Amino acid sequence: MAKMGRPKVESPKSRKVCIRLSEEEYKKVEKYALEHNQTITQVLKKGLESVCLSS
C-alpha cells in the first residue's frame, strides 16, 4: 500500500520568526500585499531577500 500524506521537501522550513508591528506598519504591509496580489509572508520574505542581497 502506498504512503499517504504530503511528499517530503528538499529543504523544509523549520524556523519560525515572530515580529511585532505597529498598526501603521501592518497596514502598509497589508496594503502592499493586496495591491501586488501577494500574502503578507511573501512580502516580508521579499523584503528580507532584498536586505540580505544588498549587504
Q: What is the pLDDT of residue 3?
A: 75
> Is 13 inside any structural domain?
no
> Is 7 inside any structural domain?
no
Q: Give pLDDT tens digits for 10-45.
A: 888 889 999 999 999 999 999 999 999 999 999 999
> Is 40 inside any structural domain?
yes
> Is 10 inside any structural domain?
no
> Is 30 inside any structural domain?
yes
- The domain of 29 spans 23-54
Residue written as cell 511573501?
42
Q: Is 0.85 topped by the overall pTM? A: no
Q: How far is CA 17 from CA 13, 14, 20, 41, 54, in A?
A: 11, 10, 10, 11, 21
| Domains held by the chain: number | 1
Give the pLDDT mean for 46-52.
93
